[in-house]
Amino acid sequence: MIYVNRSSGICRTEEIKKALAYVRENGASLPDGKVHLDGDKLYVSIQSYRTKPREECKYEAHRRYIDIQYIIAGREIIAVTDKAGLKERAPYSEEKDVVFFEDDKKGTEFELNAGDYVVVFPDDVHMPKVCAGESCDVKKAVVKILI
């Protein structure tokens, strides 16, 4: 499988394969926190939280990292939309590599269950943590791959 962002030409197939294999093998046993697989070039952030209604969630995007949002346990909706025409909710943070946007109510929603994942590139504005029906507990690995 090859992952290429069409607008930027970014391709990180080997890093994506390595990270997914690591998460599949170890994710369920990892505590919340960061695991560096290749320094700041490739790391995994394990998170546990409760999903929320869409109106309580925020669209976000990154400039330096590709995200893989991998559901270890639970289920959630992740909405993805195009950055064009979105209004910034907060300015870009260089330190955290994130910018937040207002909800355009147009994004495509993907329901992810345990074992499912979505790869989002810097041009992909995404809204994680949305409840799929009722709020539930989620354990997720967010893989960060430096572009």
CATH of domain 13-146: 2.60.120.370
Q: How far apart are CA 83 and CA 123, in angstroms?
A: 7
For the CA atoms of 117, 120, 126, 127, what is the dihedral angle to 10 degrees?
20
Query: 13 pLDDT band (50/70/90 cuts)?
Result: confident
Q: How far apart are CA 122 and CA 125, in angstroms?
A: 7
Structure tokens, 115: 């074992």
Predicted confidence at residue 28, as pLDDT, reads: 95
Q: What are phi and psi of 74, to 5 degrees?
A: 95, -165
Question: Which residues, including other chains, have CB under 8 Å from residue 117's CB and lie 6 or more apart?
Answer: 20, 68, 69, 70, 71
pLDDT in tens, 129-138: 999 999 999 9
Q: How far apart are CA 18 and CA 85, in angstroms?
A: 35
Mean pLDDT across the chain: 90
What is 82-93 written as a DSSP string?
ESTTPPEEEEEE
Q: How far apart are CA 67 and CA 40, in angstroms?
A: 13
pLDDT in tens, 71-113: 999 999 999 998 888 999 989 999 999 999 999 888 899 999 9
Residue 63, pLDDT above cutoff 60: yes
Enter the pTM of the model: 0.90
If DSSP codes are grouped into helix, strand and coil, which group holds residue 56? Answer: helix
Query: 53 pLDDT band (50/70/90 cuts)?
Result: very high
